[in-house]
Amino acid sequence: MYLGLQSMFFKYVWDHQDPLLAARTLSTKSLSLAGCRRDTAAFQAIVCSTDPVVLTTSTEPLFWKAGPALIGRIEATLDGPIPVQMQLIGLIPDDNGCPTSDVLLDQQVLYVEPGRLQQVWIECQLAADLPPDSYHGRVSLYTHTLFEDERLQEECTFTLTVKDAVLPEPQAYKFYLDLWQHHSNIARKYQVERWSDEHFAILERYVQSLAQLGQKAATIIISEIPWAGQYSFRDREPSDLFEYSMARVTKDSDGFHYDFSAVGRYIELAERYGMAREIELFGLLNVWQAEAGYGPIVEGYPDAARIRYYDTTTNTFKFMHQRAEVEAYIQAVAAYFAEQGWSERVRVLADEPADIEKFLEQWQFLHQLAPSFKLKVAINHAEFLQQDIPGLHDAVPIISCALQEHQRLIERREGLPGTLLYYVCCVPQHPNTFLSSPALESRVIPWLAERLGLDGFLRWSYTAWPDRPLEKISYRPSCWPAGDLCLVYPGARGKPLLSLRYKWLQRGIRDYELMQLAKAAGRSEWVDALLQDVFRFQDAESVRSFEEMYSLQLDDYDRVMQKW
């Protein structure tokens, strides 16, 4: 049996090679870590055995259901007042069916087959008032069978250097993170009624996980299926990816009535966790259309808004088909946000408009109805950036466009009232947060925003799970490489299971915050030197190969801790 230590950025693909040889080659018996205060320092332990082992991170008694078995208990301790948390790391099949480490499990016991490595995530929580110093720790592996006394099987050591710098609270992060939320998908996975108390209790746990990353925007779905279910009806084995409106509309003999209570409840929830700086509205602009009936349903209306209501006079549900009805609904939405004092934070989202002329017509029509709405656009082709879009408040080009039109973006930045972000989605191959992506690519995402002079990063898919995400995250792989659909998984007890990719992105965001602290302290040259170590281009518009764009050497990133 073998125990070793590895970086937090270690990723394992089970390829059935000699496990002990791989473990000894890939790991070390001692490790040095560094972290700032109000931060974490994380690494991994690797356990491997040529015999089956039941591995636990708990101190509770354990007998294996299949009879006598080798029990391995892993323990991590530090000599200072620093809480240490451990989680077993689970494997998720990639697009080729290869089990790949990604999910941080919520269970404390795991049966480990002979012939594979088992990773354990170990994270040290560094309080804001923790005295800067060097602390020493141990990772120990104890084994026994049935009623034997435990024996120390293996032991490794680590040193943790706590730096003087103090990170801000995540709600105060300068990095502008916008991960879209998929509320209906969460309700489906937990089999609860949408917008019920049960649903909101679960949503709160997901909001907490977003807030720990420094999320800035709350997603509001204000009409039915704005993404047309991601065109799932085209798939041979479709998954349910429809997102439904948070508004309730009824009609009686006096006319239409609008209930936005679920909208308000979610925004207030997001505000409690500091992630409602921006309120993103989906479903009013550039609504996705497709064949099989997913087109416009309102005569004379330039977009495909889908507003469902309950007609109390007939006891039936219907959709609005008259332009005047939809116009009145949009004005009611705008009035609601004004009444709540939220208008300044509201952004109407257009997700990858393809036809510029058609989009401008849609936006002009909407803006006349609701002048308080501000426009935010996710842009996937460079020609869009070359247009003067009246009323554009926030621009989010895909990374390839942000590079291709970088000089134009910087020149136009002063005229942009809001934020300038970039995004990745199913493309490009690099950098990205797929299961197949190098681990450091999740970390480099915030670094790239700093290098390009942008405000932050957007991702479309925090919880856009297929039907059985823990069994098969791969879905429509020709379009969405495994991992594209989520950064967390649905846990059994109504809370998210975080992923390694979540943790790696979080580390990159914290790196970004350290750079902002350094610049505020007059150390911009030091930040520039860090960026030069990581990035290999001088002119963004000349970049042609993402593989040659940035370093994949861990030491180049870890230098962010050296001078603190």
60-88 pLDDT per residue, tens? 999 999 999 999 999 999 999 999 999 99
Same domain, yes or no: 390 and 351: no
d(Cα 215, Cα 338) in Å, to the nearest integer?
Answer: 23
Which pLDDT score is estimated for 548?
Answer: 76
- CA proximity to 306, closest of 275, 330, 334, 335: 330
Which pLDDT score is estimated for 153?
Answer: 97
Tokens at 56, concatenated: 């636990």
Pairing of strands 421-423, 456-459: parallel
Q: What pLDDT digit, counting tens, does each position of 335-365 carry?
A: 999 999 999 999 999 999 999 999 999 999 9
Looking at residue 18, which CATH number applies to its domain?
2.60.40.10
Mean pLDDT within 118-122: 97
Same domain, yes or no: 414 and 343: no
* Separation of first and last alpha carbons in the chain: 38
Which pLDDT score is estimated for 278?
Answer: 98
Q: Is residue 375 part of a domain?
A: no
d(Cα 47, Cα 64) in Å, to the nearest integer?
Answer: 18
Pairing of strands 118-126, 53-56: unpaired
Percent composition of the chain: helix, strand, coil (DSSP 3-state, to 5)? 30, 30, 40
Mean pLDDT within 464-488: 97
State the pLDDT confidence band at 383, using cuts at 50, 70 and 90.
confident
Q: What percent of the chain has pLDDT over 90?
A: 91
Which of the given ranges, 9-13, 408-412, 547-551, has the highest pLDDT on average? Answer: 9-13
pTM of the model: 0.97
Q: What pLDDT digit, counting tens, does each position of 208-242 carry?
A: 999 999 999 999 999 999 999 999 999 999 999 99
- 3-state SS assignment for residue 346: strand
Same domain, yes or no: 298 and 429: no
Same domain, yes or no: 331 and 409: no
Question: What number of residues does the chain have?
Answer: 564
Q: Last residue of a domain, which of 317, 349, 369?
A: 369
Q: Is residue 56 part of a domain?
A: yes
Same domain, yes or no: 355 and 394: no
Which pLDDT score is estimated for 18?
Answer: 65
Q: What pLDDT digit, counting tens, does each position of 140-191 carry?
A: 999 999 999 999 999 999 999 999 999 999 999 999 999 999 999 999 999 9
Structurally, the chain folds into a number of domains equal to 3
Q: Are 100 and 91 in contact (CB under 8 A)?
A: yes
Q: Are 92 and 169 in contact (CB under 8 A)?
A: no
**What residues does 71 pair with on adjacent strands?**
54, 144
Instruction: Flag whether pLDDT at 272 surpasses 70.
Output: yes
Its domain, for residue 153, covers 2-166
Same domain, yes or no: 136 and 248: no
> Please, what is the average pLDDT of the chain?
96
Q: What pLDDT digit, counting tens, does each position of 32-63 carry?
A: 999 999 999 999 999 999 899 999 999 999 99
Same domain, yes or no: 409 and 361: no
Same domain, yes or no: 136 and 232: no
Q: Are 452 and 402 in contact (CB under 8 A)?
A: yes
- CA proximity to 100, closest of 111, 91, 90: 91
Same domain, yes or no: 343 and 465: no
State the pLDDT confidence band at 388, using cuts at 50, 70 and 90.
confident
Instruction: Flag whether pLDDT at 474 surpasses 70.
Output: yes
d(Cα 291, Cα 311) in Å, to the nearest integer?
Answer: 28
Backbone angles phi, psi at 115, to 5 degrees: 95, 10
Q: Are 497 and 489 in contact (CB under 8 A)?
A: yes
Q: Last residue of a domain, which of 166, 185, 206?
A: 166
- 3-state SS assignment for residue 494: coil
Instruction: Flag whether pLDDT at 21 surpasses 90.
Output: no
Which pLDDT score is estimated for 445?
Answer: 98
Same domain, yes or no: 433 and 307: no
State the pLDDT confidence band at 496, using cuts at 50, 70 and 90.
very high
Lowest mean pLDDT among 15-19, 356-360, 457-461, 496-500: 15-19
Mean pLDDT within 363-368: 96
Q: Is residue 178 part of a domain?
A: no
Instruction: Flag whether pLDDT at 523 surpasses 90.
Output: yes
Q: Order of strands across the sheet with 134-145? A: 30-37, 151-166, 134-145, 70-78, 53-56, 109-112
Which pLDDT score is estimated for 16?
Answer: 61
Which pLDDT score is estimated for 20?
Answer: 67
Q: What pLDDT digit, counting tens, does each position of 429-448 carry?
A: 999 999 999 999 999 999 99
Q: Is residue 475 part of a domain?
A: yes
Instruction: Flag whether pLDDT at 19 surpasses 70.
Output: no
Mean pLDDT within 382-392: 88
Q: Is residue 198 part of a domain?
A: no
Q: Is residue 308 part of a domain?
A: yes
Q: Last residue of a domain, which of 166, 190, 208?
A: 166
Q: Is residue 197 part of a domain?
A: no
State the pLDDT confidence band at 262, using cuts at 50, 70 and 90.
very high
Q: What pLDDT digit, counting tens, does each position of 292-325 carry?
A: 899 999 999 999 999 999 999 999 999 999 999 9
Hey, how many other C-beta atoms are within 10 angstroms of the C-beta on 140? 17
Same domain, yes or no: 387 and 488: yes
Which residue has tokens 């230098």? Answer: 559
Mean pLDDT within 241-258: 98
Q: Is residue 44 part of a domain?
A: yes
Same domain, yes or no: 365 and 400: no
